[in-house]
Structure 1
């Protein structure tokens, strides 16, 4: 489903513009009965990074706590020994919008769990590149070729 609206990408504007849409999604989440058959739905959300930040009530995507899925902060970004997993829960943000650092507003799509928010391609490629780069550096270091200028 695509949402088109005139205006800027702003939390308050989107919240007002999508009130009816979010209400309809909540109703669909409960299931839809057609000819005595109940249809259940699982929702997924795909986005660009700015729209994601707005919909999750994020402070900003370039803040210290930048990741929508985990609690890693910028100082830990290059530490590949850290486990980057989906550790946030949407229900906790619904109860208290600043439960996790970096979130300052209630998420707009609070019926979609974090493991159904599909990351943009750039986020995936950057993470893969980080792992491949660290493996290459480790291999060069292992064979004493890391600072080899010859």
Structure 2
């Protein structure tokens, strides 16, 4: 199917697929060579697909976690555990009134649900590729921030982020893995960097960490 990725397109073009899956969820038995087997179904896809299939709002929305009812601003709170937030289930997603209008306030009350789930399934697993890409993006940004902060502390920071010696060492280290890499300043606090494909990121990860420790840990004075 050639169309935009959207809830409407999925619902209209794959109705029969979702119907078959939901029927199997209700009766999780398959027959192979006259032998019946009980199955457990899992949904594995990228995060955008998760949100669309479950009828949730966008990934940057207030409630964008498919596993727990946690606000995006609270997800990094290390004082909390997963048990501090209510678990997302299909039943929980359908708790609210079907006829509630899709205003921003109502979406907040419904914990980010904007449509009915297309699959009645509670087992959701992100695919390893997209998980790895996202995690390494965060780690790369943390390295850039650490290097830039060190340059500021050493009084070697200028308007051009690439003038800092720690940033230069970081860029050289990544490029030594055979990966084209650049950093630029979007503003004084936000840095943009080259978007790397999976194979490039794997090359960096496989690089001997002893050769890549160019950014020192934060020093406490």
- The alpha-carbon distance between structure 1 residues 76 and 11, as it changes in their structure 2 partners (threshold 3 A), is same
Q: Tell me, in whole angstroms, the C-alpha distance in 2 between the residues paired with 1:26 and 1:20.
A: 10
Q: Say which SS state the counterpart of residue 32 (structure 1) adopts.
A: strand
Per-residue deviation, 1:125 = 3.9
Report the 3-state secondary structure (helix = DSSP H, G, I; strand = E; otherwise coil) of the residue aligned with 2:73. Answer: helix
Matched ranges for 1:1-150 at <5 A: 5-29=1-25, 30=27, 31-33=29-31, 37-84=35-82, 87-96=87-96, 100-110=110-120, 112-113=121-122, 116-120=123-127, 121-122=131-132, 125=135, 146-148=219-221
**Distance across 2 between alignment mates of 1:34 and 1:75:** 48
Q: CA RMSD in A?
A: 3.0
Name which one, 1 or 2, has greater alpha-carbon Rg.
2
Q: Secondary structure at the match of 1:27?
A: helix
How much has 1:100 moved relative to structure 2? 4.2
TM-score of the aligned structures, taking structure 2 as reference length: 0.48
Whole-angstrom CA distance in 2 between matches of 1:56 and 1:43:
15
Q: Deviation per CA, 1:25-73: give whole Å up to 9, x if none.
A: 1333312345653222211111111111111111111011121111121
Q: What is the alpha-carbon distance in structure 2 between the residues aligned to residue 83 and residue 123 of structure 1?
A: 24
Structure 1 segments, 4+ long, off by >6 Å, are none
| Residue of structure 2 in register with 1:138 after alignment | none
**Does structure 1 retain, via aligned residues, the 8 Å contact 2:22–2:119?**
no
TM-score (norm 1): 0.68
Structure with the greater relative contact order (CA < 8 A, sep ≥ 6): 1 or 2? 1
The total of aligned residue pairs comes to 126
Could you say what secondary structure the match of 1:52 adopts? helix
Structure 1's unaligned 5+ residue stretches are 130-144
In the alignment, structure 2 segments of 5+ residues that lack a partner are 99-106, 140-217
